[in-house]
Chain A
Amino acid sequence: MAEFCKISFPGSDFVPITLECHQSLSEHLTIQNSPVLFGCRTGICGTCLVEVIGDISPPQPDEQEMLETLAANHPHARLACKLDVTANIEICKIELSD
């Protein structure tokens, strides 16, 4: 298993960040070094809703319930504050057309 994971942000000018596996994104990403804004940081507010491409474990029921409400039509939607990162991933901001 990789000890470090690269988090990249395609479609933006932000440079990729390397983190140790299982590190919490909300402790390392800020609105200044990534396209992600964290609000509650506990998986309830959806401020950190993103599209994630990469090998990542599926959401727990609580996150799943939020994703069904916030972005039912986005198969890769995830809450960045709830991600357990174990591989290289790409993160993009989801633009919801409300």
Chain B
Amino acid sequence: MEKTIHRKLQINHTRNKQQDHTVLMDEAVTNFRYEDCQNEYWNPEEFSLLYGTPLWEQSTQHQRIILNQLYWVAYYSQIVSAEIATIFFNQTSAAGLYAQEDFRLICDTLDLESAQERSHINAFRTIAKQVEQALFGELIFTYPMRGPFTETMVYADTNALKTWWKKIQLQYFGLISANNTFLACQYFTVRGVRTLNGKLVQHKLSNYYQKHPHPEAAPIPAKVSYYHFMDESFHFNSSTIISHDVITCLKPPTAFERLVANLGLLGCQRDHFHFSAAINGIFWYDPALYGKIYRVLRSPIFEMSEMDAKEMMRRCFTEESEGLQRSFSTHQEAMKSYQVYVEKLDYLWERNRDMSLMATNSISRYLATQQRDFQGFENQGDLFLSHTETQRRREEWKSVV
């Protein structure tokens, strides 16, 4: 391996070990009690669930605080999914990198990162479960632990066949990348893009702690956002070194390797195609979120009737709002950032380099989709949970707390 690349890897690994935030994160989470911070914001105000929508406009101060906390819960529940997958693919890629001289340094780095991901997952889940238990007594954004081959928690118009197909693709990718150095490196292009996206928002979330008038007294979830942001900086760096630099030490990819690599990035564009009026910075497909938002609106926090809840959702999801504009603008920034990030990877197809799939989404397209899908949702009969469904959810809940 070229000297500079080795040096970059070395600095990254050494500094990550020195500045590891795992212990601080574990400690903070052990001391987390929702009662201690239930009356304050955990993020900057604009990072609240449904911020800038009619719901936000008419919410009381107390409800706004809950929406702010629910953003945290929903956002980091999504990050849990990403980190579960990362732990698995770190290992398969490490196997694929055995064929590389100096592989040990890379593998040690990935081991450290996986240990950090485990601490992050524990922190996010512990806090999120406690909050949902206190507020709703059931799971809404949180979910039981799952394997790495499942769709992330709220996914675009999926069905059983698509879920199965995605699972097969992920398993196959894991298998072949464990025996192919190029594909092992290529995994880090996708991981880099995803982390780059995360950093756009996580930087702002972490600032809340850093700029807090008394950081030591800041709410624990805000501290966790900061600790997470700091660890992930190193993870982003490893992704960049492996996918941009280490890859240059390998033979050019074969046609098959190029195909798999490009399909991987195209899948990433597909995952990041949508943007959400409910949560700025995660590219969720909002119709998949209707049921969850409905439950929040019918809960004792908002106490809406079936009709009021549906009417509020219609206004939030099918009409233009400041919140929607903000989410779209994050989507645009992410897309432009990805373009620059992958600019020099000459094995990529044109449509992956210019992110043309992501580029076809727009506010008018978003609204058209919502107007179509919301009708179906609105026409469903009694949406409030039936007795059996409530029972099922309570069982599910018991299995995780």
Residues of B within 8 A of A40 (CB): 199, 232-234, 236-237
Residues of B within 8 A of A30 (CB): 333, 336
**B336 and A32 contact, CB distance less than 8 A:** yes
**A45 and B333 contact, CB distance less than 8 A:** no
* Interface membership of chain A positions 33-53, coded 1 if the CB is closer than 8 angstroms to chain B and 0 otherwise: 000011111101111000000
For the complex formed, measure the closest distance between the CB of B199 and the CB atoms of chain A, giving whole angstroms.
6
**B199 and A39 contact, CB distance less than 8 A:** yes
Given contacts A40-B199, A41-B199, A69-B7, contact A31 B240 (CB under 8 A): no
Given contacts A31-B333, A31-B337, contact A69 B233 (CB under 8 A): no
Q: Interface-forming stretch among B8-16, B87-95, B110-118, B392-400?
A: B8-16
Find B240's partner among A27, A32, A47 (CB 8 Å cutoff): A47
**B237 and A98 contact, CB distance less than 8 A:** no
Residues of A within 8 A of B255 (CB): none
Is B230 located at the chain interface by the 8 A CB criterion?
Answer: yes
Residues of B within 8 A of A45 (CB): 233, 236-237, 240
Given contacts A39-B196, A69-B7, A98-B248, contact A26 B203 (CB under 8 A): yes
Is B340 located at the chain interface by the 8 A CB criterion?
Answer: yes
Find A65's partner among B11, B196, B237, B337 (CB 8 Å cutoff): B11
* Interface membership of chain A positions 41-80, coded 1 if the CB is closer than 8 angstroms to chain B and 0 otherwise: 1101111000000000000001001100110000000000
Is B4 located at the chain interface by the 8 A CB criterion?
Answer: yes
A27 to B208, CA, bound (A): 12
A66 to B15, CA, bound (A): 11
Residues of A within 8 A of B237 (CB): 39-40, 44-45
A38 to B204, CA, bound (A): 13
Name which residue of chain A comes closest to B4, CB basis. A69
Given contacts A69-B7, A69-B8, contact A42 B340 (CB under 8 A): no
**A31 and B340 contact, CB distance less than 8 A:** yes
Which of A26, A41, A70 has the most chain B CB atoms inside 10 A of its CB?
A41
Residues of A within 8 A of B337 (CB): 31, 37
For the complex formed, measure the closest distance between the CB of B371 and the CB atoms of chain A, giving whole angstroms.
29
**A38 and B336 contact, CB distance less than 8 A:** no
Given contacts A39-B236, A44-B12, A44-B234, contact A27 B333 (CB under 8 A): no
* Interface membership of chain B positions 244-267, coded 1 if the CB is closer than 8 angstroms to chain A and 0 otherwise: 000010000000000000000000
Is B207 located at the chain interface by the 8 A CB criterion?
Answer: yes
Name which residue of chain B comes closest to A41, CB basis. B203
A53 to B8, CA, bound (A): 26
Is B332 located at the chain interface by the 8 A CB criterion?
Answer: yes
Is B341 located at the chain interface by the 8 A CB criterion?
Answer: yes
**A42 and B230 contact, CB distance less than 8 A:** yes
**A37 and B233 contact, CB distance less than 8 A:** no
**A44 and B15 contact, CB distance less than 8 A:** yes
Interfacial residues of chain A within 1-50, with CB under 8 A of chain B in the complex: 26-27, 30-32, 37-42, 44-47
The 3 closest A-B pairs by CB, nearest first: A40-B233, A45-B237, A42-B233
- A residues with a Cβ closer than 8 A to B are 26-27, 30-32, 37-42, 44-47, 62, 65-66, 69-70, 98
Can you identify 6 A-B contacts, CB atoms within 8 angstroms? Answer: A30-B333, A31-B337, A39-B196, A40-B233, A41-B199, A41-B233
- B residues with a Cβ closer than 8 A to A are 4, 7-8, 11-12, 15, 196, 199, 203, 207, 230, 232-234, 236-237, 240, 248, 332-333, 336-337, 340-341
